[in-house]
Amino acid sequence: MNESGIALYRTMYMIRSAEKSIQAHYGEDEMKTPMHMSMGEEAIAAGVCHALKPEDQILGSYRSHGIYVAKTQETDRFFAEMYGKASGTSKGKAGSMHLVAPEAGLVCTSAIVGSSIPVALGFAFSNKRFKNGRMTAVFFGDGAIDEGVFWESLNFACLQKLPILFICEDNGFAVHSPTHARHGYDSIADIARKFNCNVLQSDSSDAEQICKLTKDAIKLIRDNERPAFLYLKYYRYLEHVGIGEDFKAGYRSKDEFEQWLKVDPVRLQREKVLRTMGEDRISVLEKGIDEQIESSRMRAKNAAFPDAHTAFEDVCI
Ligand SMILES: Cc1ncc(C[n+]2csc(CCOP(=O)(O)OP(=O)(O)O)c2C)c(N)n1
């Protein structure tokens, strides 16, 4: 196992541990923000972010805990935002759906489906114009494909040959509506292929494979001077919004979930790392991360709320 395999496991474990901590404490009703959890999706967040350089930019949706942790590798400001505290990523005013970390390249995340996509185009356009070599990656769900802005943006990016990576994370549902009930075509990837862009796809939950695919996509973007579209499948473990399971809602089955659990991304990578690291060293690594998460959470819980007079600062009114 090389260093990058261990680094990928470290990142995925940190994402999972942070969300488990949210699950354990959300019921105390001190984190007031709605939660769109990333469990099941860790290989995409970690795989893509590890393939990017620190100066590269990413943008995402309201389901962005995974990409935040993967790109920043930090959890203090993350938990402070969950608790609505002044030390949070947006000074406690935005919550889980609007995480930002511009210093680490996380430009923005947004609650409005598809809305980060045209913003990403602006960054890619600027990068191309200033020839600074930075890559822009924008993450969105299959529901964003239903928005006209996705197709307009894909067209503009292809026309202008922008250095941009579109990442569609298809979990098969927009809230409870399955893809086949919303799309009058069979394959998003096939349609994207008709545009002048590089299309790559995978249904793997192996973070090393996703990382390799992303590196291939970036090379194609640079070599062909064309955007790339990564179409990736994963299974959302928890309800659309909230911290629990929703198999009783009747729109999907627990059997399906159990099939995906067999290829759980975090466990898959752990098994690979175990072969070279051994159980004792992995346990030390995991314990260190769990302690970091608990210390971030406690610091956030005990931190100060923003002053009332700051309510109208940093906002457009
Ligand atoms: C423009 C817009 N329309 C509708 C909604 C309501 N809405 C919130 S999440 C969601 C489903 C999006 O599904 P998908 O893009 O597949 O992302 P996932 O939640 O599966 O990660 C919808 C329709 C919204 N937030 N924004």
Where do the structural domains in the chain lie, given as residue ranges? 3-297
Q: How far is residue 167's CA from residue 165's CA, in Å, rounded to a whole number?
A: 6
**Residue 1's pLDDT band (cuts 50, 70, 90):** low
Q: Which two tokens stand for residue 188?
A: 């998003």
Q: Pick 3-297's CATH classification: 3.40.47.10, 3.40.50.970, 3.40.50.720, 3.40.50.2000.
A: 3.40.50.970
Is any ligand 1 atom within 6 A of the Cβ of residue 31? no
What is the percentage of the chain residues whose pLDDT exceeds 70?
Answer: 100
Answer whether 171 contacts ligand 1 (Cβ < 6 A).
Answer: yes
Mean pLDDT of 262-282: 97
Instruction: Answer yes or no: is pLDDT of 138 > 70.
Output: yes
Confidence at residue 314, expressed as pLDDT on a 0 to 100 scale = 87
CA angle centred on 205, ends 228 and 25, rounded to 5°: 110
| Beta carbons of 144 and 117 less than 8 angstroms apart | yes
What are the pLDDT digits (tens) for 33-68? 999 999 999 999 999 999 999 999 999 999 999 999
Ligand 1 within 6 A of 65 CB? Answer: no
pLDDT, residue 317, reads 73
Q: Which of 191, 197, 241, 203 is nearest to 221 (CA)?
A: 197
Q: For ligand 1, say whether the CB of 241 is within 6 Å of any of its atoms.
A: no
Backbone angles phi, psi at 6, to 5 degrees: -70, -40
Atom 21 (ligand 1): residue with closest C-alpha? Answer: 141
More confident position, 219 or 1: 219
* pTM for the full predicted model: 0.98
Substitution candidate for ligand 1 out of 112, 113, 234, 241 with most atoms within 8 A of CB:
113
Minimum CA distance residue for ligand 1 atom 6: 113
Q: How far apart are alpha carbons 113 and 164 in whole angstroms?
A: 19
